[in-house]
Structure 1
Amino acid sequence: MKTSELRQRFLQYFERQGHRRVASSPVIGPADDPTVMWTNAGMVQFKDLFLGKEKRDYSRATTSQKCLRAGGKHNDLDQVGFTARHHTFFEMLGNFSFGDYFKADAIRFAWEFVTGPVAAGNLGLDPSRLWITVFEGAEGVPADTEAEELWKAAGVPPERILRFGKKDNFWQMGDTGPCGPCSEMHYDRGAHIPGDELPNGEGDRVMEIWNLVFMQYERDGNGVLTPLPKPSIDTGMGLERTASILQGVDTNYEIDLFQPIFDAIWAVAKVKPEERREHTNRTASQVIADHIRAATFMSFDGVVPSNEGRGYVLRKIIRRALRFGRKLGIEGLFFADLAPAVFQAMGDQYPELLPEVGRIQKVIHREERQFSQTLSTGLRTLEALDVSGGALAGSDIFRLYDTYGFPVDLVEDWCRERGVKADIAGFQAELGAQRTRARAAMKTHDLRLSGDLAVLADLPQTRFTGYDHLEGQAHVVALFDAQSRRVKQLSGEGYVLLDRTPFYAQSGGQVGDHGQLRFEGGMAEVLDCTAPAPKRHLHRVAVQGTLLENMSVSAQVYTIRRRRVRAHHTATHLLHAALREVLGTHVKQAGSVVDDTRLRFDFTHFAPLEPEQIAEVERLATREALKCLPTHVNEMDIDEALASGAMALFGEKYGEVVRVVQVPGFSTELCGGTHVMNTGEIGVVKIISEGAVSAGVRRIEAVAGDMALELLQSDEAMIQGLSRQANSGREALPEVFTAKDQRITQLERELKEAKLKAASGGGSAEQVEQVKGLKLVTAAVEGLEGNALRELMDQVRTRHPDAVIALASKVAEGKVAALVSVAPGLPQDAGALFKAMLPALGGRGGGKKDLAQGGGTHPEGIPQALEALRAAL
């Protein structure tokens, strides 16, 4: 059975059981969840549903989720390639119940799908090769005898059900929150596979294929478990693992999904066909095959290699693949060329990869080139390390590995060639300490609902009216003081939750609205509006008077500020579309900030924009704005929206129903922000700056609407001021400034020549003497530095070709420049002589045997410096 058929069978089975098929979320973790870097399981996109923070119009779901486990709590990176089943990138099939069915149905579904007849859409696996594990009980939590009995009722022989402890059969979302026992399905692949005969043992013989999590408890900060009022189900079946069983192969890497990738690898590897199964070659090729899938999907989702966060993980994956490429004898750059093979293998499920393959290859290729330079840098650093004691310290090896990404095996090779011991144990200790720090950092929890704000999830949702109205009546649902403690009345600063509001809550790069809440006996200035819990708009306020719970208020957004924000937000969409038209469809939004003063737009691109390109982007965006077209905003199903061509931003979290904002004929994006009703409100779009944010990411800052007018008026005032200063019309300013620049250049040249002539004096400033049998020429001058001092040195060399020459120039108060030259054939070293002068000059510098140069801060020390030079001869 092909992997694509397995995927569809799973999803179709659960659709028949009343589940909603939900599209895979990106491998990037949700932007509004700081605790998740990657989507490492199918439940990540449903986290807020399990926590009760979000409601949807379905209570059952099924997915085939793209997952990444490379960093943080779930990190399989070091095992990838060496085992039959570990991957950094993989797909997890899952079925979920949000307070609907529980253990009985989850177990029945799983057993029926896995063992039921193939003709009925199931998998038909042999029940006698399946093992089931359940929770044996621990730390006051009873054994899951309920699940055990339900498995028996489903048809599992009692002797095929085993009990295990908390490590294997208890799941929790974090140190606090939902948790519960889990039940796993394992498959015995046969005695020909090395490993134990029972689940959770060593080796790959008995392999876990499906985990059923029964969320039935809530753990508080004291570790106390309380039964959940609505228990839920979260399951995950490994697509690649199950495919390997159905296809009768020994490892995940032998399934059909990987075949096109291996074909591409062997096409460039310097390995004979009969040697490909040899352990070292097989492991190296598996690492590369896994990593190109991970790198492709990470790059597709907008990640670019960098030294921090997600970019650092991508960098490690690419560099690890390149190191293993060397083990296969691959010379030069190759990894980016494998990306098309990923589409060939997975394009039927992910057709959106095709138009992005070129951009993905550019991202990877850029890192490949840089890593070649990294290897050179690492080698230079390695050569400079102290190994005089016969050993290379573990801390030095770790610094090479962590800072430069330098391969440890290359360090070991370098040490062996020189008879030096590599302290690998010390390196491992440093690496372990780093992992401990990383694990500790990953234990942070979601602080958005800390303290009394946690009650927001249980309070009624706020009805947002601000798309159509900027003012309206509302009632106070809850009040919190400045320390986020819930109160019944509020004076001074704090937070207000309303039942309805026209205030936009900060989201998607757009800032929260400002305005006022007016009530009987007082008013509150709204300083910001956020949504710590979905659809709960929390207003940060400064209250004059006393605000009470359940009080009626009149809410009013500041109209001018909202109008400016709105213009900038729609202008951002225009800029995005214009950038894609001018630069190419590889351009994708990588972040934005939209407020009332300006817009900031980050996007994927690999080079600075040329002035002509910036001008063209401005022209296209402004042209669309000045067409004065009405914008179209529609709500539609997420799948329908994406099928219509609407652009989604990776990392953003979308519900099943989304808003599609369209500038007809030019831009269509998913966006929950506020926008102009007519593009004429935007007026001119003017780019203020363009620059780099990180490797492969550029940033534009721009203004539109009122703020564009303010910028143009400011620029006009500056031009008029320059015209008055130059006593010239504005049209003549370029010629005036060009003439002034030419005149300044000429005067600087004449001044330099005059200084040089005065300093040289035909040689009158030179002091010629014999020191230790050598001809020494010295001169102390003023006003010369850089090229001028070097020109003077050339003149002195012409007059004294066989001498040691030292020139020192007082450039200004607190600044001195100096040069030392040694004639060819003389044994002295100019660099060493110059170093003898430096203490007296209070400076630094150096050079080669024939010429050294530098400067300092003590021009009064010139006589002592020249004396030190004499002593050093």
Structure 2
Amino acid sequence: MASVDDISTALKQMKFAHPTWPMAKIRSEFIRFFCSEHAHTSWPSSPCVPHDDPTLLFANAGMNQYKPLFLGTCDPALDMANLKRAVNTQKCIRAGGKHNDLDDVGKDVYHHTFFEMMGNWSFGDFFKEGAIDMAWDCLTKVYGLDSERLYATYFAGDDQSPADDEARVLWERYLPASRVLPFGKADNFWEMGATGPCGPCVEVHYDRIGGRDAAEFVNADMPDVIEIWNLVFMQYNREADKSLRDLPAKHIDTGMGFERLASILQGFDSNYDTDIFAPLFHAIRMVTGAREYTGKIGTEDEGYVDMAYRVVADHVRTLTFAIADGAVPSNDGRGYVLRRVLRRAVRYGRQNLGAELGFFSKLVPTLVDHMGEAFPEIVAKKDFVIQIIEEEEASFNRTIDIGVKEFEARCDKLPAGAKFSGADAHFLFTTMGFPVDLTVLMCEEKGIELDQVGFDAKMKEEKELSAAAHKAKMSGGSGKDLTLQAEQTARLVSTGISTTDAEPKYTWHEAIDTTVKACFVGRGETEDKVGFVPELTAASGMCGLVCAQTNFYAEQGGQIYDTGFIKGADGAEFRVDNVQVFGGFVLHMGEVVSGSFAVDDAANLSVNYTRRLPVASNHTMTHVLNFALREVLIGRENIGNAEGPSVDQKGSLCDESKLRFDFSWGKGLTTDELARVEKICQEKIAQELPVQIYKAPLENATKISALRAVFGEKYPDPVRIVSICKTPIPEILENPLDVIWKDYSIEFCGGTHLVHTGEAQKFVILSEEGVAKGIRRITAVTQEGAREAMNTAASFAQRCADAAKLEKAELVQEGKKLTAELSAAAISTVAKADLNVALKAITVKGSTWLKAEAKKKVDAAVVTINEACKAAKEAGKDKVAVRVDFGSNGKDAQGIMKVLSKGDYKDLSVLLVTADYAASKFAVFAQSPKGSPIDCKKWCDAATDGLNGRGGGKPNSAQKSVEGLDGVADALTKAQAF
């Protein structure tokens, strides 16, 4: 296997770029055209892992990051809110969910799980005519495509919406009517989901062959006539009842496949023959020793070698970009998809290319060198990506071994002709990480069928449970849809209502007087389906109020929402149970307790600050924890070093009971590391450092050397800086690159915080665990929760000290009790480690005593048994049943039987009845010499007949145990009578 250095050296000596249209030029010309000629804003690709969109596994289209604009929920403080026209090339992954091309990759020459989607957008600006004109000029003038090979399709209409004749007429200005073709909803009507913005679209198709009428091949799944660009005209909203309503603003969303366009411009019939893949194919050949790639498909591809090339090259792209953007292989969600992608690549590489285990990670440097200039994030995360893939490759074989055993065990229990259970397949992959496609293959090998319907049903059940939980949270369990989407926010704007002034949420312990601006009972709950009403009463059930101002914190950034009350001038009262923000409008969700609330009513907003205080404490200490982890794990000298190790925030949760912090790190923290982290946090509390907050221009703030920002997070401009230090933030901004700032916690944050760290009082880490490959989680508590944890630890330590003074059975009993309690105790993980050491000394002392006591009992038992054997032998008997109470430990019984088998009575069959008073049960053990006619299993069965004994064995050795002690005498009598 060639080394990474060998591959890198060889590839640097080779040229892969196409002379006329190299991939970098294809990208740059697209951006240039729309920016310089049509006033678009060049907007960066979002991460292909949409951390802020729970509805998506991966970014699967260029429009994903603009959903808040389409839905009318974009925070007006973000730069994105000001976009009118945008252009970019978006990193996309289609390997799970609604759009899933995973199983097709490799089988043909144009499917990918990772690809780039070049697109341009209009947000309430130009519409159909502008989009079509720009697309035509881009294709024919910028890229010089032969217009005689272009075909356009448009929506033919259905019973809910008319044919898009406007688009047809616009295209017929450029193409003859014979090449402007109508198609149905499946091809030419785009929808964001079951509900939400949607509209007709036109697709541009290209005939690779040319010189013919290829209209009949459009949308016929012919590789020579392919779709290259889709122009979506977002003009409707799909309601819950499936009806269509006009959107308040119309948008354009286009997407063109970068890889497909490259194949056309570079003169290839295959996407995989372009300079996008050439370096990867050369690297694959060097690292596996396989023959050269020849581009064959199907039966012509002997040994499916070319298919394996395509699979491996595509999948290393997917894994590299997904991991760099924050996802890791795991057993659920997008993590499971990545695990399946990786294992598919490894299987094809090893089975079809002859690669050695560990080959896959060696391809990452080639990809990074090739695409790192366009996407520098993969350069920064190269080492982390390699580490994760190496670990996942190594664990693959172990998982397969365990999964195969479990699969075989479940197959053995199947009745003849039965299908392999969908529930069992679901268990294999969710609990054991065993790929479903492997389950299918193994079923085929055994001649059985997987219950795919049952498996899909289990997957759907999980998804529905998750969706139901989210809906219940957003509706207070009422079943209503209390989200404000495009129609709702547009209605508010159109009636002159400004977004909510939420600045008062940062002022503590003050109720504010404001005005009710909107009363909301839920989407679809009114005749016009929008959901706004003039007045709310107790009969409204779960509902919402939008006010001109609010001092309530709306859930975001990992911090839970505030609760409290809104009171009206006439004594009316509204209980606030949940607070969410949509497009800058803060919605207070809850119920009217008394009276009523109407639009323009005066309102007094009162937050439950007693509840908010521990939330703020946990939030402030999350910042300190973030700082402490970086200090302990990577060291001050590596902070800000893009090529060094990193500890990146991957998620957080702050509520009134705890803080939870997820971060990237490849292994579990040692007790010493946790102790140092906890100590730093406690020291910061003792120092009573001020929590400073300051708004600054985003460009200036991002220059601070020690700044911590969450990857993929969108920040407003100006941005809110939270610094936990004594130096004023304006002074930090004057000299942002000073290394001294590395000693402080400095983050972008919109949450509520303490005045100074001393208000947190105490800090205790309750647990540290892995939640996914390369992702760790710390759960901690502050204030009263931390104090309780420390008191519990102190109490436990005293109990351990007291237990150490006990002797004999009391020591053993207390040691067991303490051990059972400690694992579940809510105390510091550091203290728990120390207590485990103390408990181990207690259990060792108890174990030593138990062994000594057991030896005494066994020695006494041997004497008694020898006497009984002597008497039996003198009486001419060949068996003996005797009661000797040494407990029910099987090892002790084996030791006794071993002594007998080598002594003077080895030719006797022996059955022992022994009571275990501590466990309140008894056992029978039987042994007979070779050739004896006595069947020990039957002998044990006879002794425990009618007593519901459990156990088994063979003719010359058997055992059984029985709960309770009532039958012990009867068992001896039955054994002697056998």
| TM-score range for the pair, normalised by the shorter chain length | 0.7 to 0.9
Does structure 1 residue 473 correspond to structure 2 residue 513?
Answer: yes
| Match of residue 105 from structure 2 | 80
Does structure 1 residue 748 correspond to structure 2 residue 786?
Answer: no
C-alpha displacement of 1:383: 4.9
C-alpha displacement of 1:41: 1.0
Q: 1:857 is matched with which residue: 963, 966, 969?
A: 963
Percent identity between the aligned chains?
A: 36
CA contact (8 A) 1:35 1:442 kept: no
Q: 2:373 is matched with which residue: 326, 348, 351?
A: 348
CA contact (8 A) 2:119 2:253 kept: yes
Judged with a 3 Å threshold, the aligned counterparts in structure 2 of structure 1 residues 818 and 302 are, in CA distance, closer, same or farther, namely farther
Does structure 1 residue 699 correspond to structure 2 residue 720?
Answer: no
Range 834-843 or range 783-792, more displaced: 834-843
Judged with a 3 Å threshold, the aligned counterparts in structure 2 of structure 1 residues 66 and 855 are, in CA distance, closer, same or farther, namely farther
TM-score for the superposition, normalised by structure 1: 0.85
Amino acid in the other structure paired with 1:792:
I
Aligned length: 854
C-alpha displacement of 1:505: 1.3
Does structure 1 residue 583 correspond to structure 2 residue 633?
Answer: yes
CA contact (8 A) 1:759 1:765 kept: no
* CA distance in structure 2 between the aligned counterparts of 1:189 and 1:442, rounded to whole angstroms: 45
Secondary structure of residue in 1 paired with 2:394: helix
C-alpha displacement of 1:208: 1.0
CA contact (8 A) 1:73 1:439 kept: no
Does structure 1 residue 10 correspond to structure 2 residue 30?
Answer: yes
Q: 2:90 is matched with which residue: 41, 56, 65?
A: 65
Range 621-630 or range 503-512, more displaced: 621-630
C-alpha displacement of 1:134: 1.8
| Match of residue 557 from structure 1 | 607
C-alpha displacement of 1:100: 0.8
Secondary structure of residue in 1 paired with 2:381: helix
CA contact (8 A) 1:841 1:862 kept: no
| Match of residue 184 from structure 1 | 203
* CA distance in structure 2 between the aligned counterparts of 1:834 and 1:81, rounded to whole angstroms: 62
* CA distance in structure 2 between the aligned counterparts of 1:694 and 1:722, rounded to whole angstroms: 35
Does structure 1 residue 96 correspond to structure 2 residue 121?
Answer: yes
CA contact (8 A) 1:837 1:868 kept: yes
| Match of residue 3 from structure 2 | none
CA contact (8 A) 1:843 1:854 kept: yes
CA contact (8 A) 1:323 1:407 kept: no
* CA distance in structure 2 between the aligned counterparts of 1:167 and 1:231, rounded to whole angstroms: 21
C-alpha displacement of 1:212: 0.2
* CA distance in structure 1 between the aligned counterparts of 2:955 and 2:150, rounded to whole angstroms: 77
Judged with a 3 Å threshold, the aligned counterparts in structure 2 of structure 1 residues 716 and 255 are, in CA distance, closer, same or farther, namely same
Residue deviations 1:449-492 (CA, integer Å, cap 9, x gap)? 85575575333422112454133222122345799885614459
* CA distance in structure 1 between the aligned counterparts of 2:700 and 2:977, rounded to whole angstroms: 85
Does structure 1 residue 781 correspond to structure 2 residue 831?
Answer: no
* CA distance in structure 1 between the aligned counterparts of 2:40 and 2:592, rounded to whole angstroms: 48
C-alpha displacement of 1:292: 1.7
CA contact (8 A) 2:287 2:362 kept: no
| Match of residue 661 from structure 1 | 722
Q: 1:811 is matched with which residue: 910, 916, 921?
A: 916
Amino acid in the other structure paired with 1:217:
Y
Amino acid in the other structure paired with 2:90:
Q
CA contact (8 A) 2:125 2:251 kept: yes
Amino acid in the other structure paired with 1:147:
A
Q: 1:508 is matched with which residue: 548, 557, 563?
A: 557
Residue deviations 1:290-323 (CA, integer Å, cap 9, x gap)? 1122222222333333332222212221222222
Does structure 1 residue 307 correspond to structure 2 residue 307?
Answer: no
| Match of residue 135 from structure 1 | 155
C-alpha displacement of 1:782: 2.4
Residue deviations 1:32-55 (CA, integer Å, cap 9, x gap)? x44333221111111121122335
| Match of residue 50 from structure 1 | 70
| Match of residue 813 from structure 2 | none
Q: How does 1:595-634 map to 2 (within 5 A)?
A: 595-634=655-694
Judged with a 3 Å threshold, the aligned counterparts in structure 2 of structure 1 residues 9 and 441 are, in CA distance, closer, same or farther, namely farther
| Match of residue 793 from structure 1 | 897
Amino acid in the other structure paired with 1:266:
R
Does structure 1 residue 26 correspond to structure 2 residue 52?
Answer: no
Judged with a 3 Å threshold, the aligned counterparts in structure 2 of structure 1 residues 96 and 124 are, in CA distance, closer, same or farther, namely same
CA contact (8 A) 1:305 1:367 kept: yes
| Uncovered stretches (5+) of structure 2, i.e. residues with no partner | 1-20, 526-530, 635-644, 725-740, 807-834
CA contact (8 A) 1:480 1:490 kept: no
CA contact (8 A) 1:776 1:805 kept: yes
CA contact (8 A) 1:137 1:143 kept: yes
Secondary structure of residue in 1 paired with 2:751: coil
* CA distance in structure 2 between the aligned counterparts of 1:142 and 1:850, rounded to whole angstroms: 85
C-alpha displacement of 1:694: 5.0
* CA distance in structure 2 between the aligned counterparts of 1:150 and 1:206, rounded to whole angstroms: 22
| Match of residue 321 from structure 2 | 297
* CA distance in structure 2 between the aligned counterparts of 1:275 and 1:796, rounded to whole angstroms: 74
| Match of residue 258 from structure 1 | 277
| Match of residue 171 from structure 1 | 190
Larger relative strand fraction: 1
Q: 1:539 is matched with which residue: 555, 575, 588?
A: 588
* CA distance in structure 1 between the aligned counterparts of 2:717 and 2:108, rounded to whole angstroms: 38
Does structure 1 residue 330 correspond to structure 2 residue 352?
Answer: no
| Match of residue 948 from structure 2 | 842
Secondary structure of residue in 2 paired with 1:503: coil
TM-score for the superposition, normalised by structure 2: 0.76
Amino acid in the other structure paired with 2:507:
H
Secondary structure of residue in 2 paired with 1:83: coil
CA contact (8 A) 1:27 1:298 kept: yes
| Uncovered stretches (5+) of structure 1, i.e. residues with no partner | 117-121
| Match of residue 617 from structure 2 | 567
CA contact (8 A) 2:420 2:443 kept: no
Q: How does 1:257-296 map to 2 (within 5 A)?
A: 257-273=276-292, 279=301, 280-296=304-320
Judged with a 3 Å threshold, the aligned counterparts in structure 2 of structure 1 residues 377 and 158 are, in CA distance, closer, same or farther, namely same
Range 632-641 or range 371-380, more displaced: 632-641
Q: 2:168 is matched with which residue: 148, 170, 181?
A: 148
Does structure 1 residue 548 correspond to structure 2 residue 572?
Answer: no
* CA distance in structure 1 between the aligned counterparts of 2:177 and 2:802, rounded to whole angstroms: 97
* CA distance in structure 2 between the aligned counterparts of 1:831 and 1:857, rounded to whole angstroms: 19
Secondary structure of residue in 2 paired with 1:253: helix
Range 605-614 or range 177-186, more displaced: 605-614
Residue deviations 1:377-423 (CA, integer Å, cap 9, x gap)? 3443565576899987553699569825368689868977xxx6x24
Judged with a 3 Å threshold, the aligned counterparts in structure 2 of structure 1 residues 745 and 591 are, in CA distance, closer, same or farther, namely same
